[in-house]
Structure 1
Amino acid sequence: MTNKRKTSCRIQRTKIQNLKFGYQKILLILITATAFTACGNKTETKGTENFSLQKDTITIPVTSIIAPKIKLETVKNEPFQLELITAGTVKAIPNSYAEIAPPFSGRVTKIYLKLGIKTQPGTPLFEMVSPDFIDAQKNFFQSKSAYQIAKLSLKRQQDLKTNGVGSQKDLEEAETNFEVSEKEYQNAIASLKIFGVNIDKLVFGQSLVITSPIAGEIITNEVVMGQYIKDDDAPKAKVANLKKVWVVGQVKEKDIRFIHELDGAEIQVASYPNKKITGKVYHVEEIVDEATRSVQVLIECINNDHTLKPGMYVTVKFIDTPVNTLFVPAKAVLQFNDKSFVFVQIAKGKYMRRYVETGISDKGKIAILSGLQPNETIISEGAFYLLEAK
């Protein structure tokens, strides 16, 4: 084969190879373009199936695969009563409860009181002979006599000084003596009046009559005829007016914020499960118990039939006045960082994220304090499908 023919063959082979390479390159470009086109079509389809976002508005087409999963609800105000349940104890009201203990030591000579009898302030309960009371009487009468003498002496010195016969020194001594005597007499009167003694009817040597300080009834009686009672003994009788009582409820520290809004309470007693007892919040203690981290709340209850007895354990349900409150389903409220939001319908198939302030939860719903208005429509279920919208 000549050199010229060999050269011609090499040129032809080179052209064939270049042609094959060109076809391969074109085929690769076509495959790549087809792949990109397919991907582009797939992304667009996904956007069509789900939703689109334009500024703050999310649009869900009717053909979207999540459209059937979205449920709507028009929010409305509804009456709501906050309820808080806790344990409580029945307690007699301090001003309607008295423990009877004699002011002096002595021996019981007469008994008037019996369990259940009604009393008024000053009602005699029992009598006793007391040496200490005799001494108090003696001091009273001596003070009274000294006061009367000092009073007469002062008047005489004032008359003498007025007529120019008495001296200034004698008058000043009489005035000083009168002031001292008067003070001692007033102290003697006060010491007897504290124990219910009528000084106008007091007779020296009379027995000490122990009386009831309040209106009520005898609920405890340990007085025995002839017994000797010391002035430091425990109370021998108790008088109480139980037509009204306090129920002391223990409210946890975290729930104190609700109490100022509550104006009523229901009391449940285990021994009377079907009896409804109501009361009013009377006072909230200012100090938190460090051991239980709770606050005592006093509830005043009418107790004419004496169902509630001091020392009884009860269940307290605090109830506030019904207030119109905006509630939404718990599934409608979503979180972003530390904020809560809902999706509000602004037009058919169009929704906007709205941040809200939430309150308490109740029966699968959450109270909305701000951010929503009655009669607005929100996504009540399926809102989490839109969380990808940025």
Structure 2
Amino acid sequence: MILNTKNSYRFLTPRISNQKTQYKNLLLTLITAIALTACRGKEETADKQNYTLQNDTITVPATSTISPKLKIQAVTNEPFQLELITAGTVKAIPNFYAEIAPPFSGRVTKVHLKLGMKTQVGTPLFEMVSPDFIDAQKNFFQAKSTFQIAKLSLKRQQDLKTNGVGSQKDLEEAETNFEINEKEYQNAIASLKIFGVNVNKLVFGQPLIISSPIAGEVITNEIVLGQYIKDDDSPKAIVANLKKVWIAGQVKEKDIRFIKKLDGAEIQVASYPDKKIIGKIFHVDEIVDEATRSVQVLIECANEDHALKSGMYVTVKFIDTPENTLFVPAKAVLQYNDRSFVLVQLEKGKYIRRYVETGITSNGKIAILSGLKPNEIIISEGAFYLLEAK
């Protein structure tokens, strides 16, 4: 069929042009693919020429382009000290810390204490007049008098019975009465001794003397002459011995296993950046804080200069006794199927894969727990060039 109209001629021309363009593009794609395949083949050939694999042994010829890139070194033990850094808070040791509050309500009549005052056990701090204390004194003297009467009555009945005048019944009643009054008297003595009262020197009507229960130093004082203090008020004075303190450090649950190996800690304080304070682990809590998933560790520290203040925030660095540990450069350790391995030199230019168990990483080195021995030679750098050798 002949198409001789102008309209038909104009319609066929673009279709012929598009076919030529598609043919050119297809030709270019084929040429590019052939070139890439050729280059890849050359690279694979070059890699095979760089090393050979026989069983588990990799041989790298001296003429290989990889050989100059491989660095080797002997594995040696290095002293290593495990460290774990966390935050901590200074706390007073409970046995060396006393909050002073009166046992009775009353009015302060005399003040002996002042901030910074050194105390011993029994040092008077302040005095107060208390109706409740007067009642306690009255109960004590009544119990004492009743006890003395019961004691004399018992002695008289014993004498009468011995001389054949008294009856057994009267003696037994006197003995029972004596035992009851003796217990009441002892209870009255105990109730006063709790407050540091010397019952042998007690005078009826004397003021209550509040004394220090521990040796230490007055670190808080809110006692004012003439003030009225209730028995349920918060403590008005604090005496503490801060020559030793606790540091309460928080250790994450996942790191508790390290604490068992550690025997000391280094305390760093922001206000004394050059001061080095060393403490000893005193106690590891048995309960994990559910909110923080941490365990409290108490470190006891000497604090003769009082540099550590109660409530102060510090940095705690737990330290272990140095131990000899095998370390290799991190670049020497490779991964295969979730296992770690290094390349150990059998002889010059020959290496074998050795699976190892790794430990902590420190300063660009990895601890080797098993799989290597001291003085073995490994590829320390460039081992990844041989990663494809399988």
TM range (shorter): 0.7 to 0.9
1:188 corresponds to which residue?
188
Matched, 1:216 2:213: no
Distance 1:82 1:321 in 2: 8
Q: Percent identity?
A: 82
2:128 corresponds to which residue?
128
1:125 positional shift: 0.4
Q: Structure 1 regions of 5+ residues with no counterpart?
A: 1-40
1:138 corresponds to which residue?
138
Q: Structure 2 regions of 5+ residues with no counterpart?
A: 1-40
Distance 2:208 2:322 in 1: 57
2:315 corresponds to which residue?
315
Distance 2:217 2:369 in 1: 51
1:44 positional shift: 11
Relative to structure 1, the CA distance from residue 150 to residue 339 in structure 2 (aligned partners, 3 Å threshold; closer, same or farther) is farther
- Deviation per residue, 1:324-369 (Å, 9 max, x gap): 1111111111222232221111222222222221111111111111
Distance 2:153 2:64 in 1: 114
Q: Secondary structure at the match of 1:262?
A: coil
Relative to structure 1, the CA distance from residue 181 to residue 51 in structure 2 (aligned partners, 3 Å threshold; closer, same or farther) is same
Give the TM-score normalised by the residue count of structure 2.
0.84
Which amino acid in structure 2 is aligned with residue 273 of structure 1?
Answer: P
Distance 2:47 2:84 in 1: 48
1:51 positional shift: 2.6
1:60 corresponds to which residue?
60
State how 1:306-385 maps to structure 2 within 5 Å.
Answer: 306-385=306-385
State how 1:64-143 maps to structure 2 within 5 Å.
Answer: 64-143=64-143
The answer to whether the 8 Å contact 1:48/1:64 transfers is no
Distance 2:61 2:71 in 1: 14
1:53 positional shift: 2.9
Distance 1:89 1:290 in 2: 19
1:265 positional shift: 2.0
1:8 corresponds to which residue?
none
The answer to whether the 8 Å contact 1:49/1:66 transfers is no
Distance 2:162 2:49 in 1: 119
1:282 corresponds to which residue?
282
Distance 1:83 1:44 in 2: 47
Which amino acid in structure 2 is aligned with residue 332 of structure 1?
Answer: A
Relative to structure 1, the CA distance from residue 236 to residue 166 in structure 2 (aligned partners, 3 Å threshold; closer, same or farther) is same
1:73 positional shift: 1.2
1:202 corresponds to which residue?
202
Distance 1:156 1:214 in 2: 46
Which amino acid in structure 2 is aligned with residue 303 of structure 1?
Answer: N
Which amino acid in structure 1 is aligned with residue 243 of structure 2?
Answer: K
Q: Secondary structure at the match of 2:242?
A: coil
Which amino acid in structure 2 is aligned with residue 264 of structure 1?
Answer: G
Q: Which entry has the higher C-alpha Rg, 1 or 2?
A: 1
Relative to structure 1, the CA distance from residue 333 to residue 162 in structure 2 (aligned partners, 3 Å threshold; closer, same or farther) is farther
1:261 positional shift: 1.9
Which amino acid in structure 2 is aligned with residue 147 of structure 1?
Answer: F
Matched, 1:263 2:255: no
Q: Secondary structure at the match of 1:301?
A: strand
1:42 positional shift: 8.2
1:11 corresponds to which residue?
none
Distance 2:193 2:250 in 1: 40
Distance 2:155 2:59 in 1: 106
State how 1:219-230 maps to structure 2 within 5 Å.
Answer: 219-230=219-230
CA RMSD of aligned residues (A): 2.1
Give the TM-score normalised by the residue count of structure 1.
0.84
- Deviation per residue, 1:154-208 (Å, 9 max, x gap): 3333444444444333333222222221211111111111111111111111110
Which amino acid in structure 2 is aligned with residue 109 of structure 1?
Answer: T
2:22 corresponds to which residue?
none
1:153 positional shift: 2.6
Relative to structure 1, the CA distance from residue 171 to residue 281 in structure 2 (aligned partners, 3 Å threshold; closer, same or farther) is same
Distance 1:104 1:247 in 2: 35
- Deviation per residue, 1:355-390 (Å, 9 max, x gap): 221111111111111221111111112222333333
Distance 2:357 2:274 in 1: 39
Relative to structure 1, the CA distance from residue 76 to residue 160 in structure 2 (aligned partners, 3 Å threshold; closer, same or farther) is same
Which amino acid in structure 2 is aligned with residue 354 of structure 1?
Answer: R
Relative to structure 1, the CA distance from residue 158 to residue 372 in structure 2 (aligned partners, 3 Å threshold; closer, same or farther) is farther
1:174 corresponds to which residue?
174
Distance 1:272 1:43 in 2: 61
Distance 1:190 1:84 in 2: 50
2:156 corresponds to which residue?
156
The answer to whether the 8 Å contact 1:48/1:61 transfers is no
Relative to structure 1, the CA distance from residue 161 to residue 51 in structure 2 (aligned partners, 3 Å threshold; closer, same or farther) is farther
